[in-house]
Structure 1
């Protein structure tokens, strides 16, 4: 499977440089020969950004991340990126990582979606305290450029916004329905208010700006799309929410990387003919693909390419918000275990309802006029690349039926076993009576169970044998799944074998 971010290197020089004519800068201006620190650099966008900075000739690129490894860490190290493990909430870690840097691109954040949204303390610790630590280190080391990657949520909180722009006020902090939007808003304001602050030694100043991206997608994106695919695979993509006319923005990963680098260029104060305060100093910028679309229609071709479909049932936003609050309450009770991998993601949360069910899209005109930002990949091109990646990924993973099939088969076999062998306690008398209604005698009930188990085991062995030829990496997975589910699993493997032969 091709690296999710390696495709960034293959973009043509002409395609990129055309986007920077507005500022009349070369594509390497402010990058070549400089040292960059990317916080959250082992994340999806951070890794893509690191690779692009290397491609543009940065003297050194440092990825600063809490993790020691990620799906992109090998690519980064092989490209010469210095990967520094550290915690943005720890001053000493941040201070060490930023020492000697020329520009900081601050992407590290917490609480964007799912269970993370409910860990309020951690959201504040990373998004607010972590940003304060970055600002403190920037001043200490006299780093002149800081780009903060923010979010639409600093101005959006569930009320419709049509073709909004940067003149919109911040959404009231007390009205945010999630800790992520509130903490990111505070952090962005801290960053922008620090713009123009002189360093202690005098002479130079800190220049800051904020990039506010739409929902991010692309090959290898690890937040939105995997969660959607998992829900669809399990049969839990149960409903749509909001009217069909609702529109929101998305941004392809390469477009976002371009916007961040252009923002860093917009903070340069040593460009001949552009004396005075840099054009981007103290400014926020909305960036997107520029193609507002209904979220569910945007996802339709993606899901269909993977043999899934959108639900036909639609519920209103108020009902979806109520459902989200129920999940929020339930998961809040489980707060001590929210970080555990065994706890599944909630089906939906209130903030997520607003993101997909209420129209909010923004113009990137300011970024275009001041930074020269124009998406060089359209939504159609971006989705095509994303579909190609996920189709290949699906071919390398174990496929199977929905969770409802699992429940039906497991409960059915368990009920048959209970009816045939367990003593008459609890629901066993009812299960036994029901089994006798269909199979007439206890001998027949037990025989049906034994034969069913034998057939399942036989199908499992055949599945293992077939998978060794058509999907060897998942052979044992196919064995256990088919042993448990029988034909309901086998039909997926037979389809894969047919595709393999084709």
Structure 2
């Protein structure tokens, strides 16, 4: 049943009753507060939750609920009877965004967006609602492939929209606009572009997730594509402007759609950079070719189609790619002329307010941590966290570079000089002998430079270290003896394979030039791989996580295929036996 109207507000400028469908969503909350601030609205908040849960900052809504200026209704868009009960007695309906949509669930999205729009239209006509304002999106005229420069309302719906949510929104918008002036219902639709602001659950959080995993460091393409952005309070303000215009300027507004922006188009990557820098993340700098990213997306699409989502949302990635690589700017001339809409919050102020509201997700508080943190990185822990880790992770560039040069010279001396290993070792020991003797004969002051002597303790091994080395050698020898004894008995096949297989690979490595190649690759790998991993740890870990998820999905897929193939072969084999069995019995 409809909420009872409190008589205390009957004389307050003739209050009107409105319903905000999706009133607990990102945009719905802002619209509800604006309507209550006007004081001449009785607001019904309708959403999918069974009951309303108020935040501490929503004192205005709390007071309105207690005084019957506002009421809450549980909304099920797929149930027409439920929608009718929510709208009964209302004169205006603001149809905001549907919450809880999963882009990977095609059927659920269709029933909530398209079938939900049909139910709202039918309920509005049945309940004699006068005005219906639908919150659409500028994405309904974007096909994902072509740029839009200062587009206006004359743009048609694309023949095919790549983003399924935008496709369904376009269908819902068309249904609502076509229902205009039927049974006294007046409709219009607003198309905001790239809505952001405090409380955002999609646009800004998606970018912050990318930044948390390190992927927001990259610019896809040239980075020169322009976009329009809209602060969320401006969208709520536009809905109120649309309701007033629909009430007084019926002919020029009813049945029409209007683009809503902040009137301040800017480069997409500049907008993203301002947000990320404000929250302590690195500004996107490295440019990636569009074709390369498209190839990666095509691989992910194959995985998504064949193996399932694998822990990522392919539709969201595609939508981000389309936003990041195309120009999308829109003209708001019609909204300014017909709706008297002007932004009430500038883009600069909106970005500042958004950064402040997401301060809890700033880099210094994020899970990913910082490279300059006192805690050891995963790469350092893998290397033991000692001097070797400091060298391979380039903690001191001069020391690491010197070690790298020495290792390269040793590699050339032992592997590339053309001498045998024993000959190279003898020459190396002879060179060391000459250097040590020559260093010892140098005067204490050479051309004004002090000559540092090498302490004899540098060549001395303590008794405890020597005993430990001998003990380790003896223990290893005894363990090898036990292993050889098990092999001699010829009963432990597992031990045999554990020894034979590594020895075989060692033979392959030591044969011809394979050892040289192996050592060279290992040397380059040691001085580059760990350093790269430390710099891009979050990105590599995320890619590894996705790869393992896809490998698991591939294994399940192969097992499913093999199981089906096996069952078919068994069925054919069973049929063949049943067909031949009577013939065998006759022969008997």
**Bucket of the pairwise TM-score, normalised by the shorter protein:** 0.5 to 0.7
Question: Partner of 1:266: helix, strand, or coil?
Answer: helix
Distance 1:329 1:66, change over 3 A: farther
- From 32, 36, 45, the counterpart of 2:27: 45
Matched residue, 1:190: 175
CA RMSD of aligned residues (A): 3.5
Matched residue, 1:83: 72
Aligned partners of 1:32, 1:394: CA distance in 2, in Å?
A: 46
Matched residue, 2:15: 33
Q: Is the 8 A contact 2:54 2:62 kept in 1?
A: no
Deviations 1:146-175 (A, max 9, x none): 001111121111211100100111111xx2
Question: Partner of 1:118: helix, strand, or coil?
Answer: coil
- From 282, 292, 296, the counterpart of 1:319: 292
Matched residue, 2:231: 252
- From 81, 88, 94, the counterpart of 1:99: 88
Distance 1:325 1:395, change over 3 A: closer
Question: Partner of 2:215: helix, strand, or coil?
Answer: coil
* Residue correspondence of structure 1 range 416-435 to structure 2 within 5 A: none
Distance 1:302 1:79, change over 3 A: farther
* Residue correspondence of structure 1 range 387-426 to structure 2 within 5 A: 387-391=355-359, 394=362, 399-401=367-369
The count of corresponding residues between Structure 1 and Structure 2 is 372
Matched residue, 2:410: none
Matched residue, 1:164: 151
Aligned partners of 2:320, 2:147: CA distance in 1, in Å?
A: 14
Matched residue, 1:127: 113
Matched residue, 2:221: 242
Alpha-carbon shift at residue 31 of structure 1 (Å): 9.3
1:352 has 2:320 as partner: yes
Alpha-carbon shift at residue 110 of structure 1 (Å): 5.9
- From 126, 133, 137, the counterpart of 1:151: 137
Question: Partner of 1:240: helix, strand, or coil?
Answer: strand
- From 186, 205, 219, the counterpart of 1:226: 205
Distance 1:303 1:238, change over 3 A: closer
Matched residue, 1:302: 275
Aligned partners of 1:323, 1:38: CA distance in 2, in Å?
A: 41
More helix by share: 2
Alpha-carbon shift at residue 233 of structure 1 (Å): 2.2
Distance 1:92 1:389, change over 3 A: same
Distance 1:196 1:373, change over 3 A: same
1:63 has 2:45 as partner: yes
- From 207, 220, 225, the counterpart of 2:186: 207
Aligned partners of 1:387, 1:131: CA distance in 2, in Å?
A: 34
Query: Highest relative contact order (Cα 8 Å, sep 6+), 1 or 2?
Result: 1
- From 104, 110, 128, the counterpart of 1:118: 104
Alpha-carbon shift at residue 69 of structure 1 (Å): 4.9
TM (norm. structure 2) is 0.57
Q: Which runs of 5+ in 2 are unaligned?
A: 1-11, 385-464, 470-533, 538-588
Alpha-carbon shift at residue 176 of structure 1 (Å): 1.3
Distance 1:295 1:209, change over 3 A: same
Question: Partner of 2:154: helix, strand, or coil?
Answer: coil
Deviations 1:208-237 (A, max 9, x none): 000000011112222111221222123232
Distance 1:140 1:232, change over 3 A: same
Matched residue, 2:341: 373
* Residue correspondence of structure 1 range 255-266 to structure 2 within 5 A: 255-266=234-245
Alpha-carbon shift at residue 119 of structure 1 (Å): 2.1
Q: Is the 8 A contact 1:118 1:179 kept in 2?
A: no
Alpha-carbon shift at residue 331 of structure 1 (Å): 4.1
Question: Partner of 2:117: helix, strand, or coil?
Answer: helix
Bigger radius of gyration among the two: 2
Distance 1:72 1:225, change over 3 A: farther
- From 123, 135, 138, the counterpart of 1:137: 123
Alpha-carbon shift at residue 306 of structure 1 (Å): 1.6
